Amino acid sequence: MSDIIENRPLVEKYYLKLSPPGLDDQTSDLERVRAGLKACGVEEVDAPLSVAVSIPRVLRESGFAVTVSVGHVGRPRLLGIEPGDTTGRNFGLAIDLGTTNVVGMLVDLSTGGTVAESSEVNPQVALGEDVLTRIHYCLNKGGLEELRARAVECINTLAARLAEKAGISPQEINCMSVSGNTTMAHLFLGLDPYHICRSPYVPVANRFGRIGAQEAGLDINPDGIVYVLPNVGSYVGGDVLAGILVSGMHSRKEVSLLVDVGTNAEIVIGNSDWLLVCAGAAGPALEGGVVRFGMRAMPGAIDRVIIDPASFEPKYSVIGGGKAKGLCGSALIDLLAELFTVGLLDGRGRFAGPAKSARVIPYEGRAAYIVVPGGESATGQDIIITETDIDNLIRTKAAMYTVLSVVTRELGITFMELADFFIAGTFGAYIDAGKAVTIGMVPDIPLTKYRLLGNSSIIGACRVLAGRDETAELDRIASMITYKEMNVSTDFMSEFRAAMFLPHTDSSLFPGVQN
């Protein structure tokens, strides 16, 4: 096998130097282009009329030296023809269509490299905070169209901004790959998500095939193509498949585990023979939803905290520098772990009295810890973490641990047997695995096994743009997946209660955590 890595983008440009027609060669213009492509190994290209019409002019203006763009989702399809050699200008847009945040990355398809990145709050948020409220919103007349239009508009905004950053025209973007959960994919395509959240929980479609840019309402090359990552039923979306793809766990003999912490948390466990996916509502506290000063990982968010064990004074870092506005998920885990480690917080999540540190203050009849005094914060307000916040965080981490514990036990696998423990999600890029172990959110296994994937949803979408064979790989992953409903049984609930302690009521499960 050759080690040469071939660049096989979703849309490929081919520079063709064709011989001009003559009385001895009356091949039609389109067939001439097709023959040129065939010589490059591209057979039987479909040619939409909108592209075919420009072929005669471009061929003759360029002296029959042209660059043609061919889309490779399903049958090869002609997406454009330009005079001369423009193979160096070929762009794709990867989109992570999150419930809360939409991230776009402009990819140079001639190299596979990322050119520019940007994100936007999903404007659907104003019509519904989460997936369920948005599905409900579709019951309004025109609701689905309104949600669709907002997603499309948001992506168009990102496309225009990224094109401007890169000094290209948005029309030079030949393709787009979109990764999101099942509901987001449906809303983006205008497919009714009604049955996604209603028994028997059936999506309209799992695989979306090749979609035209114009058909999808996107302001890129109107003949460009859109690939939406497939989903596997109502609860396993393309974002999860992207995570698996990026982790590579589906290609290894050893069993690994992947946790994708977004607005919801999905857990994947498996290897090259099988993949099991479970979903749980573990995430909100870590995405800034239910914590007073919680916020998403973005500029102004504290992402890391350490507390001096002697003075109980914190040191922290802020994403993007400058004054702090709030605490993102990784900072919350750090805080919980540090407060517990230095002894300001007990295993039940209760603060030691103010005598121990002036930073611990009474708050709404309970206690709180001042992370940033008002004089140092961006808002002028104290940034604090309260016992109520901590209760929520402990509930979140306990839910996560319980799910991990139940799933592995049912499969007869111990945590120690896991080859790797992948953490995906934007949040996952900042997490300190050691701290997550300290609070008993994830199991006490060697820290080297923890692998942070970052926003694997967009990384996966980029991978597809740069390598079209990944679409088949995603189909293969989809076919391997079994979805498991978490039974919130009596057993689960008693385990959950036992996990509502730092790190756990059964300290033998966390031998490495000292307190």
Q: Quick one: 28 or 133, whose CB is closer to a second copy?
A: 28
Q: Quick one: 3 or 25, whose CB is closer to a second copy?
A: 25
The edge-to-edge listing of strands for the beta sheet with 256-261 is 450-454, 421-424, 256-261, 265-270, 275-280, 481-484
Answer whether the bond into residue 222 is a cis peptide, omega within 30°: no
| Minimum separation from the CB atom of position 417 to a second copy (A) | 30
Q: Quick one: 223 or 389, whose CB is closer to a second copy?
A: 223
The H or E element containing residue 92 is strand 91-97
Residue 342: phi and psi, rounded to 5, are: -80, -5
| Minimum separation from the CB atom of position 155 to a second copy (A) | 15
| Minimum separation from the CB atom of position 216 to a second copy (A) | 7
Q: How far apart are CA 427 and CA 435, in angstroms?
A: 14
Q: List C-alpha distances in Å: 63 to 11, 39, 187, 438.
A: 24, 19, 46, 69
Q: Quick one: 179 or 405, whose CB is closer to a second copy?
A: 179
| Minimum separation from the CB atom of position 137 to a second copy (A) | 17
Q: Quick one: 56 or 446, whose CB is closer to a second copy?
A: 56
Q: Quick one: 194 or 492, whose CB is closer to a second copy?
A: 194
Contact 159, 135 (CB under 8 A): no
Q: Quick one: 21 or 454, whose CB is closer to a second copy?
A: 21
Q: Quick one: 208 or 340, whose CB is closer to a second copy?
A: 208
Q: How far apart are CA 142 and CA 148, in angstroms?
A: 10
Which residues are at the interface with a second copy (CB under 8 A)?
21-23, 25-31, 46-50, 52-53, 55-57, 74-75, 189-192, 194-195, 199-207, 209-211, 215-216, 233-234
Contact 168, 204 (CB under 8 A): no
| Minimum separation from the CB atom of position 57 to a second copy (A) | 7
Nearest Cα residue to 403 out of 482, 486, 329, 501: 486
Residue 302 structure tokens: 């504290």
| Minimum separation from the CB atom of position 82 to a second copy (A) | 17
Q: What is the residue-wise DSSP string for 177-244? A: EEEE-HHHHHHHHT---GGGGSTT---S-S---EEETTTTT-SS-TT-EEEEPP-BTTTB-HHHHHHH
| Minimum separation from the CB atom of position 205 to a second copy (A) | 4
Q: How far apart are CA 182 and CA 196, in angstroms?
A: 8
Q: Quick one: 191 or 385, whose CB is closer to a second copy?
A: 191
| Minimum separation from the CB atom of position 413 to a second copy (A) | 26
The H or E element containing residue 113 is strand 113-121
Answer whether the bond into residue 200 is a cis peptide, omega within 30°: yes
Q: List C-alpha distances in Å: 251 to 22, 241, 331, 409, 478.
A: 53, 13, 33, 23, 13
Q: Quick one: 118 or 156, whose CB is closer to a second copy?
A: 156
| Minimum separation from the CB atom of position 264 to a second copy (A) | 18
Q: Quick one: 31 or 254, whose CB is closer to a second copy?
A: 31
Q: How far apart are CA 168 and CA 175, in angstroms?
A: 14
Contact 230, 478 (CB under 8 A): yes
| Minimum separation from the CB atom of position 106 to a second copy (A) | 25
| Minimum separation from the CB atom of position 176 to a second copy (A) | 14
What does the angle CA 284 – CA 290 – CA 296 come to, to the nearest 5 degrees? Answer: 60
Question: Strands 77-83, 65-71: parallel, antiparallel or unpaired by DSSP?
Answer: antiparallel
